């Protein structure tokens, strides 16, 4: 019989790991070798409960039979087919399923292979849309401080995470401005759900419109819930204000739902949770339950239709990826979205929203905790930074949690939790009691 946990070759020189302190990791690796439902198994055979759905992406839990078997079947049938001037049925089927989950009037789907690519695609669609309507001076983008939109040049330009921009600062897109972020410990620490303070920050967009003139602004892009910066739910009324100002001046509103899409808030997209409909939605991650890379941009019908006016033999959008709508990714998406629907996963996961909020806020009195935030199946615990060593305290917490069998995600000094939507009370108890125990050990 095969050993389910064969020894791992620790010769690790060749893989340059992303967003990782490579030398620190190699000195003390944390290796995951298999996974099922809520758990990873490590190379030394330990079970680790997944507190962050991989990287906010394994929404239905790991290794779901329905998805894996659809992928295997697709590989046996059609491994690859181009989608430039050719088609295959799974891509159309996947687009229909994605559109079926989107807000009313958003029924066109452009496929990419990652969140970063979906962001760059959305920005390009926004520019091309204005131009197609004869409004080609609209070229500026407005992002937001602390926003994360992946790592393409478009994404880091509209993004607002200083470390991701610093080294590349000389070559960011020109013509980008940033709204202020909404994080304010003095006004809104320990808010449960959406902070009551802060909707006025959206009004900064009026100032930018006055400065740049609306005729020059193509789109505003925000994460409805900022994730990678450390979980910032939008203040009550904030997204509504952005929507209203964009409408007033003909500016497109892009929601980057790479994290918030596919049930993270108990609805297909955050757009439905907040009842604010953007013009474009970027998504990825949970679209295939992270089994096969895929990203997508979902577009309002009138935006798509604006491209469909010229001669029929002309390519309408000079943009696309070799793997846009890849058959295996498309099969994974169809099976994933079927699984979400057939199990009522988004709806059933709502039962855990209050429970995870209680568990997270239960940590507020622990040493060094300066904020707790939550929304849907997302929670965050922000720690006071050690003097001169930002991120060190949370890193130590992450390592200790892992050693005790819980995987958490950290960003700066914030511990972020976003478990698979199949999470049960017992897992939440285990995750938060472990974090609590660890926090008590940290100086
Ligand atoms: C909001 C948001 N946009 C874009 C991305 C980039 O996605 P990817 O890493 O698949 O390129 C992420 C990744 O976490 C994200 O959270």
Tell me how crowded residue 12 is: count the other CB atoms within 10 A of its CB. Answer: 13
**298: CB partners within 8 A, 6+ apart:** 98, 99, 102, 106, 108, 109, 280, 281, 283
Q: Helix (H, G, I), strand (E, B), or coil: what is residue 105?
A: coil
What is the whole-number distance in angstroms between the Cα of residue 121 and the centre of ligand 1? 13
At 71-89, the pLDDT tens digits run 999 999 999 999 999 999 9
User: Tokens 């690859």 identify what position?
Assistant: 80
Pocket test for ligand 1, best of 150, 257, 269 (most atoms within 8 A of CB): 150
Three-state DSSP class for residue 37: strand
Length of the chain: 443
Q: What strand order describes the sheet that includes 414-417?
A: 369-375, 378-383, 414-417, 409-411
Q: If you average pLDDT over every residue of the chain, what do you get?
A: 97
In the predicted model, what is the mean pLDDT of residues 287-305? Answer: 98
Burial environment of residue 68 by CB neighbours within 10 A (0 to 12, 13 to 18, 19 or more): middle
Q: Give the pLDDT band of residue 36 (cuts 50, 70, 90).
A: very high
- What element of type H or E holds 211? helix 204-212
Q: State whether the beta carbon of 330 lies less than 6 angstroms from ligand 1.
A: no
Nearest Cα to Cα of residue 93 among 300, 336, 313:
336
pLDDT given at position 310: 87
Distances in Å between the Cα of 24 and the Cα atoms of 30, 334, 398, 405, 416 are: 11, 39, 14, 20, 21
pLDDT higher than 50, residue 1: no
What percent of the chain shows pLDDT beyond 70?
A: 98
At residue 411, φ and ψ (nearest 5 deg) are -145, 120
Whole-angstrom distance between the N-terminal and C-terminal Cα of the chain?
47
Tell me, what's the pLDDT at 72? 98
Local structure of 305: helix, strand or coil: helix
Q: What is the pLDDT of residues 249-258, one digit of tens each?
A: 999 999 999 9
Decide: 114 in ligand 1 pocket, CB within 6 A. yes
If you average pLDDT over residues 367-391, what whole number do you get? 98
Q: Is the pLDDT of residue 5 over 90?
A: no
pLDDT digits 0-9 by tens, 383-421: 999 999 999 999 999 999 999 999 999 999 999 999 999
The number of the ligand 1 atom at minimal distance from the alpha carbon of 228 is 16
Q: How confident is the model at residue 11 (pLDDT cuts 50, 70, 90)?
A: confident
Given this model, what pLDDT does residue 2 score? 54
Those residues whose C-beta lies under 8 Å from the C-beta of residue 429, and which sit 6 or more positions away, are: 359
- What sign for the dihedral angle of Cα 156, 157, 160, 166? positive
Q: Beta-carbon neighbour count of residue 413 at 10 Å?
A: 22
278, 246 contact by CB (below 8 A): no
- When pLDDT is averaged across residues 224-235 and rounded to a whole number, the result is 98
What pTM was estimated for this model as a whole? 0.97
Q: Is the pLDDT of residue 316 over 50?
A: yes
Q: What is the pLDDT of residues 109-128, one digit of tens each?
A: 999 999 999 999 999 999 99
Give the sheet arrangement for strand 39-42, strand by strand. 32-36, 39-42, 47-50, 406-407
Q: Render pLDDT for 160-219 as a digit per residue (tens, 0 to 9).
A: 999 999 999 999 999 999 999 999 999 999 999 999 999 999 999 999 999 999 999 999
What residue's CA is closest to ligand 1, atom 3? Answer: 149
Q: Is 259 in the pocket of ligand 1 (CB under 6 A)?
A: yes
Q: What is the mean pLDDT of residues 138-167?
A: 97
Is 119 near ligand 1, meaning CB less than 6 Å away? yes
CA gap 395, 205 in Å, rounded: 35
Question: Which atom of ligand 1 is found nearest the CA of 152?
Answer: 11
- Ligand 1: centre distance to CA 150 (Å): 4
The answer to whether the CB of 222 is under 6 A from ligand 1 is no
Q: How far is the CA of 148 from the centre of ligand 1 (A)?
A: 7
Write down the residue that tokens 């950290």 correspond to: 410
Paired tokens of 78: 């059609």
Q: Which residues contact 198 (CB under 8 A, 6 or more apart)?
A: 182, 184, 187, 188, 235, 238
User: Cβ(149) to ligand 1 under 6 A?
Assistant: yes
pLDDT tens by residue, 325-339: 999 999 999 999 999
pLDDT in tens, 49-73: 999 999 999 999 999 999 999 999 9
Task: Return the closest-CA partner of residue 147 out of 115, 121, 170.
Answer: 115
Pairwise CA distance, residues 91 & 347, whole Å: 26
Residue nearest to atom 12 of ligand 1 (CA): 150
Question: How far is C-alpha 405 from the geometric centre of its chain's CA atoms?
Answer: 24
């Amino acid at each position: 019989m095969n050993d389910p946990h064969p020894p791992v070759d620790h010769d690790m020189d060749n893989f340059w790991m992303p967003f990782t302190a490579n030398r620190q990791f190699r000195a003390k690796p944390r290796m995951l070798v298999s996974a099922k439902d809520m758990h990873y198994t490590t190379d030394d055979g330990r079970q680790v409960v997944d507190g962050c759905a991989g990287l906010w992406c394994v929404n239905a839990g790991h290794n779901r039979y329905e998805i894996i078997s659809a992928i295997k079947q697709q590989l046996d049938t059609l491994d690859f087919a181009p989608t430039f001037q050719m088609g295959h049925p799974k891509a159309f089927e996947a687009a229909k399923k994605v559109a079926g989950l989107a807000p009313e009037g958003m029924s066109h789907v452009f496929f990419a292979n990652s969140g970063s690519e979906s962001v760059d695609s959305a920005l390009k669609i926004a520019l091309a849309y204005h131009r197609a309507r004869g409004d080609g001076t609209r070229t500026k983008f407005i992002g937001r401080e602390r926003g994360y939109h992946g790592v393409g040049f478009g994404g880091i330009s509209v993004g607002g995470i200083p470390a991701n921009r610093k080294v590349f600062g000389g070559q960011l897109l020109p013509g980008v401005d940033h709204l202020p972020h909404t994080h304010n410990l003095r006004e809104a620490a320990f808010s449960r759900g959406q902070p009551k303070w802060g909707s006025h920050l959206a009004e900064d967009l009026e100032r930018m419109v006055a400065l740049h003139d609306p005729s020059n602004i193509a789109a505003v892009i925000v994460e409805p819930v900022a994730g990678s910066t450390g979980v910032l739910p939008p203040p009550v009324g904030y997204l509504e204000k952005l929507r209203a100002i964009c409408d007033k001046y003909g500016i497109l509103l892009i929601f980057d739902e790479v994290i918030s899409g596919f049930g993270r808030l108990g609805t297909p997209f955050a757009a439905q949770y907040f009842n604010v409909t953007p013009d474009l939605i970027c998504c990825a991650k949970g679209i295939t339950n992270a089994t096969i890379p895929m990203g997508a941009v979902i577009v309002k019908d009138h935006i798509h239709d604006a491209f469909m006016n010229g001669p029929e033999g002309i390519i309408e959008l000079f943009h696309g990826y070799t793997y846009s709508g890849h058959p295996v990714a498309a099969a994974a998406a169809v099976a994933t979205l079927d699984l979400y629907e057939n199990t009522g996963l988004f709806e059933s996961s709502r039962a855990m929203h209050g429970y995870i909020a209680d568990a997270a806020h239960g940590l507020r009195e622990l040493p060094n905790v300066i904020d707790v935030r939550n929304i849907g199946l997302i929670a965050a615990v922000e720690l006071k930074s050690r003097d001169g060593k930002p991120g060190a305290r949370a890193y130590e917490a992450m390592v200790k949690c892992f050693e005790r069998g819980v995987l958490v995600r950290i960003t700066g000094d914030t511990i972020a939790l976003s478990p698979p939507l199949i999470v049960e009370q017992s897992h939440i108890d285990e995750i938060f009691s472990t974090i609590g125990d660890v926090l008590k050990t940290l100086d």
